[in-house]
Amino acid sequence: MIRIELPVSEKDIRKLKVGDEVSLHGTIVTARDAAHKLMVEEWPKFVEPLLKDGAIYHCGPVMKKTGKSWKAVAAGPTTSIREEPYEAAVMDHYKVRLIIGKGGMGPKTLKACKDVGAVYLHAVGGAAPLLADTVVRTKAVHLLDELGVPEAFWEFEVDGFKGIVTMDSHGKSLHSTLLRKSKKKRDAIIGL
């Protein structure tokens, strides 16, 4: 298990390879469809210090408010491929070092990982309450009224959030490797 303190340098991220297991400690920021669309259409300034050398988590958390504080009740990953049209531009503009989600991403994001010095971390789907337990504090929420709970930018301080590198800064993607192997087996089965 490789411990990553956030924010993290490009140099440290470039040491990671597909298959590495990591444990994140520091701030991660949730961003789903509406947040990504907003980022590429408006490039909001408040996002810059949140994401530089940081992590975007594709997550629509279930949150509970007690007084003025918010607690993550469930914080599982959402399917990342929906952000493929936006992610490379977001990564380049904000110098994001980690993208976290499930299911992997496409060739534009893989190229951005290589160009920017970033990785994609696959988080375990179906473990939303366990992942929420790694959120030790909700630091802030941005655009809650405008975007709603699942789409807002949530700043989570995490301690021990785990993931597996499935796309690295060296151009390797476990997702594309598995797709290639699956197609080859499919073709053999149906006689192509």
Contact 51, 94 (CB under 8 A): yes
Q: Which fold has domain 2-190?
A: fumarase (3.20.130)
Closest by CA to 123, choosing from 72, 57, 185, 175, is: 57
Delimit the domains of the chain by residue range.
2-190
Is 90 exceeded by the pLDDT of residue 59? yes
Question: What digits encode the pLDDT tens for the residues 2-24?
Answer: 999 999 999 999 999 999 999 99
User: Which of 36, 122, 142, 175 is flagged as catalytic?
Assistant: 36
Contact 78, 30 (CB under 8 A): no
Three-class SS state of 131? helix
* 122 carries an active-site annotation: no
Question: What digits encode the pLDDT tens for the residues 68-104?
Answer: 999 999 999 999 999 999 999 999 999 999 999 999 9
pLDDT at 178: 73
